[in-house]
């Protein structure tokens, strides 16, 4: 009996958690955001720029943006139960499914090293700059270009982190606008329901107060 009660309790807890994730996109986005942050930290420690020119570096960095972003979208879509339809509810779910992918892009851009690697157009070896730790960059094979290349890498780090900050502001602005629109929509629905219920009460009162006519009276 105790084991059966324990199993039923676990099943009920799993159902409640699943229902909360499906009906509450905020909770699922927070969990996914935390997971993506941890994943980015793990990838950051293992990331090594190939330093083989802009084309090769760009394709290498693009894989870090594309594949984890698509995976985050697919996982969020499965949790939210996203369907291919033009329904308003599915449109909202699609928006919520895009948030983890956007958060992953922000994490990579805000880090700086990924964009700096993609923009590097010279060959060399990936090392930590002595005077700009913890900045990691492609040290050029040509010694005279050292200072110029280091200055470019520092600029790319700065512009990448600035772009990441701008993306954070964009995401925050979109979420704030969405919350305001949802509150306005909810208040409008409440007013409509109140007016409909008030009209129903009035009609019922009029029907009750209207004297019934009997054909035999004539």
Percentage of residues in the chain having pLDDT higher than 90: 24
Does the structure show a pLDDT above 60 at 213?
no
pLDDT digits (tens, 9 = 90+) for 99-145: 888 989 999 999 999 999 999 999 899 988 876 556 889 988 877 78
Q: To which H or E segment does residue 7 belong?
A: helix 2-23
pLDDT digits (tens, 9 = 90+) for 178-208: 888 878 877 777 776 666 665 655 556 655 6
Instruction: Please state, as a whole number, how many other Cβ atoms lie within 10 Å of the Cβ of residue 104.
Output: 24
Instruction: Please state, as a whole number, how many other Cβ atoms lie within 10 Å of the Cβ of residue 83.
Output: 11
Instruction: Please state, as a whole number, how many other Cβ atoms lie within 10 Å of the Cβ of residue 59.
Output: 11
pLDDT of residue 82: 73
Does the structure show a pLDDT above 50 at 5?
no
pLDDT of residue 161: 93
Tell me the average pLDDT of the chain: 77
Q: Mean pLDDT, to the nearest integer, of 210-214?
A: 53
Separation between Cα atoms, residue 32 and residue 97, nearest integer Å: 10
pLDDT of residue 8: 59
Q: Which residue has the tokens 């928006």?
A: 95
Domain boundaries, the chain: 11-174
Q: Which residue has the tokens 């209207």?
A: 210
């Amino acid at each position: 009996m105790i084991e059966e009660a324990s199993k039923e309790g676990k099943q009920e807890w799993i159902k409640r958690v699943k229902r909360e994730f499906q009906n509450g996109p905020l909770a699922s986005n927070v969990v996914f955001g935390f997971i993506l942050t941890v994943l980015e930290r793990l990838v950051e420690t293992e990331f090594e720029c190939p330093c083989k020119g802009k084309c090769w570096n760009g394709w290498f960095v693009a894989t870090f943006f594309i594949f984890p972003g698509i995976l985050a979208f697919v996982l969020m879509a499965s949790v939210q139960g996203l369907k291919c339809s033009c329904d308003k509810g599915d449109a909202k779910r699609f928006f919520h499914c895009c948030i983890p992918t956007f958060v992953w892009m922000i994490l990579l851009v805000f880090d700086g090293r990924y964009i700096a690697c993609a923009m590097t157009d010279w060959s060399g070896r990936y090392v930590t700059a002595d005077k700009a730790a913890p900045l990691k960059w492609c040290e050029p094979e040509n010694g005279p270009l050292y200072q110029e290349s280091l200055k470019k890498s520092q600029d790319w780090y700065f512009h990448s982190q600035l772009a990441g900050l701008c993306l954070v502001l964009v995401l925050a602005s979109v979420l704030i606008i969405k919350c305001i629109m949802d509150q306005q929509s909810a208040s409008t629905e409440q007013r409509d329901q109140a007016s409909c219920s008030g009209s129903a009460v009035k009609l019922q009162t009029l029907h009750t107060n209207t004297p019934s006519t009997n054909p035999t009276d004539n």
